[in-house]
Chains A and B, each alone.
Chain A
Amino acid sequence: MNDSTNTNPLTRMRGGYTSFSDSIHDRWATAPRWARWVVYLLLIVLAIALPADGIGSFMSPYTDWPTLLFFPIGGYILLAIGLNVVVGQAGMLDLGYVAFFAIGGYGMAVFGTKYGWSFWEILVVGVLLSALSGILLGAPTLRLRGDYLAIVTLGFGEIVRKTANNWNYIGGPNGIGGIPHPPTLTEWTIPDNGLFDAIGIGGVQPFKYGALDGKPYYYLMLVLIILAIVFVKRLEASRVGRAWASIREDEDAAELMGVPTFKFKLAAFAIGAAIGGAGGVMYASQAVSIIPTNFPFILSATILAAVVLGGSGNLPGVILGAFLVAWIPERIRGLQEYRVLVFGAVLVILMIFRPEGLLPSRRRKAELAEGEGGMGSMGAEVGGPVTVGAGEGVE
């Protein structure tokens, strides 16, 4: 791709970026274990220092930076990690992912306000509830593929929102208010001295979940994100991950290798849903009140855009994508009504330069080149009378 003879400047820039990211990728792949841990540690320190005012004044001049970091940025990242399991790893196109976010959110609201459960209990229940709803949606529909599955999931997202809108027990269009915050774990304050001040977190009470300070919520989200990353990463390297990769790349061939494709697709759906549900519980516990319009279709689309933009299937890419998709619209708030227009233009430009995503996995590149294994193959592939068997079988 990096042929210097090509006169098209766009192609040349694209090529330059590709070879740059490839060299980073190579270096990372050959880096020793300790070097990787150092990088992980630095990233965590960076994430802890991120809400500092100094960083915030540049990153977010218009809104409260720690709150922004919690949601949308942290929330989108968590959702993108979950959706990436479904879309990026198992290769199924899910357009109704917001449904699981909503189920988690409403779970928090209902159990918190009507039953007086605490956040920690509801987090567990909410995750299980979302996973269960993922299985309930998946079991009858996962025999569909590609576009057909996308349409069904799209419908599911709408059904959940409409149900919330019309069900008086959960407040109908007015939603639920007075959702409790997580109980404060400790009033402990980070000491106000040199080191902590230097990274801007001196004087913060990281485990006190009140109405004012966004930082403790952000840290809670950070913990959840790290747990999700570790969990998903471990799965990816396991037999489950191999099965997902084979399903994504060629579902029929996977079945012929003895992979129980249906079971693994269902598992991907349930795990993705569980992570989305965890995001929903977190979101509702900070937001105090939620209404059905907090969970619109456009949120599903935005998270999907984050996954694709960042590099579907590659975790660092997906996280970067989610960060940008959440952050850019807030950063350019000063443009007022032109904000969404500029945001759209930025997305289009990014996709022109990097059609395979900002940080794609190398494997994904090979898959795209083959025209297979994109998002649920992106093509109609279903046991209908039209497309089966490429001309064979139908008289």
Chain B
Amino acid sequence: MLLEIKDIHVHYGKIAALKGVSVEVDEGEIVTLIGANGAGKTTTLKTISGLRPLTRGQILFGGKDISKVPGHKRVLMGIGQSPEGRGIFPGMTVVENLSMGAYARRDEADKDLAEVYELFPRLAERKNQAGGTMSGGEQQMLAIGRALMTKPKVLLLDEPSMGLAPKLIQQIFEIITEINRRGTTVLLVEQNAQQALQVAHRAYVLETGKVVKSAEASALLDDPQVRAAYLGGGAEAAAGPGD
């Protein structure tokens, strides 16, 4: 098991955001966490990458307990994250943003830079543009590209579809599949459950800080409860599959 989260609890002040979440991610998988706003998806990712301390539980990465390791050291161990809201450095150019991804690395990053440009030709076109002046879709590409520059073993993606046009969402998900095909494990947090379940191998459903369901992604796509709650199925909506 590459990444193993065992019964983690996280608090903001006195409020419990996570009340015992357990997630496992195996090497080579795409695993997705879906759930409504406030379910604890982002908190789970932030806790894995070390931006949030946990009050109870354990995070194992490659079999090693990293619960107490500071965030910047987890990057070197192989946990890369594209954060919520993209977290682009607005005053830095595209190249500068990408090379920040290689900040902690001691080895040459040229090869990885070329690979990021190959995955996102758009970024190569805009090399010298300031990150803050790019469109939402381009920023998302930059955020993912920058995370790839850390050479992650597992890539944590926080809502890559947020605020993007449907066509761009499609494109981003295709790229996520491609990144995974090239050997990077992906842990994906999404509100867009439809898309997420289509690309993922396995999925966890989070509700108010707890995992309420976990299964093969394809099984969840057909699950009536999940359909009603997250896929716009059920009585109110008519969004069928394949739209």
Contacts and interface: CB of A to CB of B under 8 A. Distances in A.
Interface stretch (B59-67, B78-86, B214-222): B78-86
Contacts of A257: 72, 75, 100-101, 103-104, 146, 150
B72 A392 contact: no
Interface string B44-61: 001001111000000000
A46 to B, nearest CB: 31
A248 to B, nearest CB: 8
A258 B90 contact: no
A395 B50 CA distance: 21
A60 B43 CA distance: 59
Contact of B90 (A259, A369, A388): A369
A367 B133 CA distance: 9
Given A366-B132, A393-B40, A395-B15, A250 B89 contact: yes
Interface in B11-36: 12-18
B147 interface: yes
A187 interface: no
Nearest to B71: A255
Interface string B114-135: 0000000000000000111100
A366 B91 CA distance: 5
Contacts of B50: 255
Contacts, number: 134
A372 to B, nearest CB: 6
27 contacts: A250-B90, A252-B83, A256-B51, A256-B71, A256-B81, A256-B150, A257-B75, A258-B72, A259-B100, A259-B103, A261-B72, A363-B91, A365-B91, A366-B91, A370-B90, A372-B90, A373-B91, A385-B15, A389-B46, A389-B84, A390-B85, A392-B38, A392-B41, A393-B18, A393-B42, A393-B43, A393-B46
Nearest to A262: B70
Interface residues of A, number: 38
Contacts of B87: 250, 252-253, 256
Nearest to B80: A256
Interface stretch (A99-107, A169-177, A225-233, A239-247): A239-247
A367 B75 CA distance: 25
Interface in B147-192: 147, 150
The 3 closest A-B pairs by CB, nearest first: A258-B104, A253-B87, A370-B90
Contact of A389 (B43, B72, B80, B88): B43
A245 B91 contact: yes
Name which of B14, B90, B131 has the most chain A CB atoms within 10 A of its CB.
Answer: B90
Interface string A375-388: 00000000111001
A255 to B, nearest CB: 4
A394 B88 CA distance: 24
B81 A249 contact: no
Interface string B205-229: 0001100000000000000000000
A250 B146 CA distance: 14
Nearest to B40: A393
Given A384-B13, A392-B41, A256 B88 contact: no
B37 interface: yes
Contact of A394 (B15, B71, B73): B15
B45 to A, nearest CB: 9
